[in-house]
Amino acid sequence: MASTARTLDPVRERVREALERRETLAALLADPGVLADPERLRQVAREHAELEELANAGARLLKLDAQLEQAREVMRTERDSELVALAGAEVHAVERELAELEERCRELLAPRDPLDDRAAVVEIRAGTGGDEAALFAADLFRMYTRYAESRGWNVELLSRHEGILGGAKEVVFTVRGPNAYGDLRYESGVHRVQRVPVTESQGRIHTSAASVAVLPEAEEVDVEIKPEEVRVDVFRSSGPGGQSVNTTDSAVRITHLSTGIVVTCQDERSQHKNKAKAMKLLRSRLLDVKVAEQEAARARERRLQVGTGDRSVKIRTYNFPQNRVTDHRINLTLYRLGEILDGDLSELLSQLRIARRRERLSA
């Protein structure tokens, strides 16, 4: 009876479909016709990669189904009490792992946000705490850069306003790679640090903060910006302490008149390139306004804790004296602060994705 029920389980049926689809995609990746078409190859490779985690979990799920049936068969037919006891212990262990895998597969089968595959535009700004906040903002930039490197992603710096001692008052950069926005989107919010600043002579612990905003990179079809909707100003780029970077008006500031959003780009020596980067950033910010409004509406309706779109919410604390990082949205505490600031974000981001999927499934 249990076997029949499992056969009819919609999760297992969808897992089998996913496994069959991945086999089909693997065959297509070796097809000369697909290999000769870069766009088609990119689409097939992306779908194949997206199914990897589900395929691995699903294959293990189906293997455990067979293992459970065999153990139960031993319990039904075997007369040796020791073998029956061993089979009973196996049934208990397999059922526990199956329950976890079923939950994982349900999460992986939940509909994906189409924006997840976009590049991520990340903005980090120093908050309360003066120079120490700027140093922390630079630490966060390094953390995300190291994480991107570990994933094989590309980081493109859009702008950086320096503080003292290597700090950063503001850093804006783009992260490109598979599922970049989907991975980083829940980093938006206020990050707080508790430590003894390098500028502190008496060894007192200070609390400082930096805000992080992660936006999906917008395409022209997402947001149309008419020339009359913006004001474009040009000025000379400058570096730390007002030192001139170049002597031409290459830096660009674009103001979106109806929303008041202002973007600046001075990373390139070419005014044309800076304007193109600034327009990309403006589109992303306008798209983000829409996404944030949708997330906030869903949060009100479903009482979600992750990804509400509210950038003023304190989401994480980095406590140096206790070597502790705490994510307040999911009540997760890890005592690996050094590794996390060195880019090891995998566990944190994985737990946030799981929490988000569970919220969406239960809504």
For residues 263-279, one letter each, b for 16 or more C-beta atoms within 10 angstroms of the residue's C-beta and e for the rest, the string is bbbbbbeebeebbebbb
pLDDT digits (tens, 9 = 90+) for 39-93: 899 889 988 988 888 899 999 999 999 999 999 999 999 988 899 999 999 999 9
Q: Which 3 state secondary structure label does DSSP give 296?
A: helix
Q: How do residues 138-189 score in pLDDT, each as one tens digit?
A: 999 999 999 999 999 999 998 888 887 788 999 999 999 988 998 898 899 9
| Residue range 290-315, pLDDT digits in tens | 777 766 665 544 444 455 445 568 99
pLDDT at 320 exceeding the cut of 90: yes
Residue written as tokens 């910006």?
225
Angle, CA of 222, 285 and 290, to the nearest 5°:
60
Instruction: Show Cβ contacts of residue 132 under 8 Å, excluding neighbours closer than 6 positions.
Output: 193, 197, 198, 199, 206, 208
- Contact predicate 211/133, CB 8 Å: no
pLDDT value at 4 more than 50: no
Q: What is the pLDDT of residue 267?
A: 72
pTM for the predicted model, two decimal places? 0.67
Q: What pLDDT, on a 0 to 100 scale, did the predictor assign at position 73?
A: 93
Give the per-residue pLDDT at 363.
Answer: 53
CB-CB neighbours of 226 under 10 Å: 6
Tell me how many degrees the CA angle 205-206-207 measures, rounded to the nearest 5: 130
For 256-286, the pLDDT digits (tens) are 988 888 888 887 778 888 888 888 888 888 8
Q: What is the pLDDT of residue 241?
A: 42
Q: What is the DSSP string of 316-363?
A: EEEETTTTEEEETTTTEEES-HHHHHTT--HHHHHHHHHHHHHHHHH-
Give dist(CA 171, CA 267) in Å, integer: 11
pLDDT(358) > 80: no
CA distances from 85 to 20, 76, 99 (A): 37, 12, 21
Structure tokens of 301? 């309706």
Rounded Cα gap, residues 30 and 180, in angstroms: 26
For 199-249, write each residue's pLDDT tens digit: 666 778 889 999 998 988 887 667 778 888 889 888 876 654 444 445 556
Q: What is the pLDDT of residue 212?
A: 94
